[in-house]
Homo-oligomer: A and B are copies of this chain.
Amino acid sequence: MRTFTDERDWGRFHDPKSLLLALVGEVGELSELLQWLPASEVEDLAARDPLKTRVSEELADVLIYLVRLADVLGCDLAAAARQKLAAAAERFPPPEVRGVAPLK
């Protein structure tokens, strides 16, 4: 995404607040795909086209702007996510670790 942006000289548009609004725009498009579907049917409907392709495209757009925003903000996104998940794992130990039989 950084190369893509530099090749087009689009970096001048990519201040963090603008990129965040672009991310919001893509989250909005994803929402529009799912909003009126019954909650219990979304997984099935998204498993096949036409929804499958459209959902994939919007998820991809969210990732693209998220990665670009992280780059501009100097954040190592994958490392940050791994760290966050490790912290969450400690804060919410799984049932076995707490000495409780897991739900079957």
Interface residue count on the A side (C-beta < 8 Å): 67
The residue in chain B whose Cβ has the minimal distance to the Cβ of A72 is B43
Q: Which residues of B contact A15 (CB under 8 A)?
A: 39-40, 42-43
- The winner among A74, A89, A92, A95 for most chain B CB atoms within 10 A is A74
A72 to B96, CA, bound (A): 24
- Check A60/B42 contact, CB under 8 A, given A27-B28, A31-B28: no
Binding site for B on A (CB under 8 A): 1, 4, 7-9, 13, 15-18, 20-32, 34-37, 39-40, 42-43, 46-47, 52, 55-57, 59-64, 66-67, 69-70, 72-78, 80-81, 83-85, 88-89, 92, 94-96, 102-103
